Amino acid sequence: MTANTTNAAAAVELDGKDLPAHCPNPAMPLWSSHPRVFLEFDHHGTAKCPYCGTAYRLKPGTVVGHH
């Protein structure tokens, strides 16, 4: 998991090993905690936390397994 600040709206990039993705993520400070929510990625590989608005993006080439 890495923070990518190259875009105007920074997104946390996730790899296959980071799935299933949830927010707050382990890199977030304790003071910013909210109830854990698992993220659902759209067909573009992006998701947004409904609590804090943190944007998440899957790294190019990441394979998402189906349950």
Band (pLDDT 50/70/90 cuts) for residue 63 is confident
Q: Let me know if residue 66 belongs to a domain.
A: no
Q: What is the pTM of this model?
A: 0.76
Q: Count the neighbouring beta carbons within 10 Å of the beta carbon of residue 21.
A: 19
| Residue-level pLDDT at 7 | 42
The amino acid at residue 34 is: H
Q: Let me know if residue 37 belongs to a domain.
A: yes
Give Cβ neighbours of residue 2 (< 8 Å, ≥ 6 apart): 12, 13
Q: Let me know if residue 53 belongs to a domain.
A: yes
| Residue-level pLDDT at 9 | 57
pLDDT single digits (tens) 1-54: 555 444 435 899 999 999 999 999 888 888 878 999 999 999 999 999 999 999
Q: Let me know if residue 63 belongs to a domain.
A: no
Q: Rounded to an integer, what distance in angstroms lies between the CA atom of residue 32 and that of residue 6?
A: 23
Dihedrals phi, psi of 31, to nearest 5 degrees: -65, -20
Write out the residue range of the structural domain in which residue 39 sits: 2-58
- CB contact at 8 A, 41 and 47: yes
